[in-house]
Copies of this chain bind each other. A is one copy, B any other.
Amino acid sequence: MPMFFTREDSMRYAIVGSGAVGGLYGGMMAHHGKDVHFLLRSDFDHVRENGMRIDSVNGDFVLSNPNVYQRPEDMPRCDLVIVALKSTNNAMLADTLPKVLADDGIVLTLQNGLDVEADCVAAAPGHAVMGGCCFLCSNKLGPGHIHHLDYGRIVFGGYEFIGQVDRIEKLGKQIADDMQASGIDANWTEDLPAARWRKLMWNVPFNGLSVVLDASTDAIIGCPASRTLADRIIREVHAGAAFCGVSIDESAIEKTMRHTETMVPYDSSMRLDFLNGRPMEIEAILGNPLRAVERRLADRNADSAEKLAHPMPSVKMLREQLQFLDSRPDTASNLSG
């Protein structure tokens, strides 16, 4: 039974998508006594019998009897629903969120990419929606078994305030407190778009190129040609953010490259998806930023006699290449063979 269930001001949390991200953060919060409820699909039977196992760089633990559910209608109504599905599974949100959210419940999506919150807004009309960027290395090793290798910071902020900016910011800080009390380095931001675009400066080049070039990050930056290309893509994303009115300090360009140089050789989540034959988050990570830029471009070109150049031509091409690879039924086996 949850420990603080009866505390007046405590929040009830739902985790939708209990993989490498949702399983880890939800597991840490449950382990620290927060009131957490997990929606599971294929892992349900295994976790009900065996619990959840978290092997973490910060210390291993097992949740022997977590609150798990197989259907959203079986769950209690929750104050915060954390969405940590792959965004390629967002079609299930419309059936899930309305059944799990309390009347004034809030959604927090921890998915990768830009404007992934829009799917939650559409699936839970009238509810506030927050978005968060996670900086962590974590894998799901098997049913109910998460391996947390490194990092873990969350930067999250408001996306859809439903006119209640003050209330949402106050709740955001309360959620950050709950997470920090559970050992999670969670930080509320008042500028979610800047956090999103800042993370895209890494995700777009290194997720995308790692798939198209069949390479890990160290191989990409170890070759002058692909390093030049990665650098140009980083600059394009930075320029794309500015084009959309999101200002990021220029020092972030160099920091992104330097950070990647000092990382251990790393397979991006998109590459792991590709190699394992799973759909890739192409639209969340590349498609949505391109759409944001192209909407502005269309507006500005309509205003002016002169046609402006596309600020992210390499991102556009990278997306087309990924879409091709995503559409090939035989590609994963080609590359992992």
Q: Which residues of chain A have a CB within 8 Å of any CB of chain B?
A: 212-215, 219-220, 223-226, 228-229, 309, 313-314, 317-321, 323-325, 327-328, 331, 334-335, 337
A215 lies within 8 A of B313 (CB): no
B214 lies within 8 A of A320 (CB): no
How far, in angstroms, from A22 to B324 measured CA to CA in the complex?
36
A321 lies within 8 A of B213 (CB): yes
CB distance from A222 to the nearest CB of B (A): 9
CB distance from A120 to the nearest CB of B (A): 27
B324 lies within 8 A of A223 (CB): yes
CB distance from A234 to the nearest CB of B (A): 14
The residue of chain B having its C-beta at the shortest distance from the C-beta of A214 within the complex is: B334
Q: Which 7 A-B pairs have the closest CB atoms?
A: A225-B323, A226-B324, A229-B320, A313-B313, A225-B320, A309-B309, A223-B324
CB distance from A291 to the nearest CB of B (A): 15
List of B residues within 8 angstroms of A327 by Cβ? 223, 225
The residue of chain B having its C-beta at the shortest distance from the C-beta of A309 within the complex is: B309
List of B residues within 8 angstroms of A314 by Cβ? 313, 317
Sample of 6 A–B contacts (CB below 8 Å): A219-B328, A223-B324, A223-B327, A225-B319, A225-B320, A334-B335
CB distance from A206 to the nearest CB of B (A): 13
A220 lies within 8 A of B337 (CB): no
Which of B219, B225, B320, B334 has a CB less than 8 Å from the CB of A228? B320
The residue of chain B having its C-beta at the shortest distance from the C-beta of A213 within the complex is: B324
How far, in angstroms, from A337 to B214 measured CA to CA in the complex?
14
The residue of chain B having its C-beta at the shortest distance from the C-beta of A337 within the complex is: B337
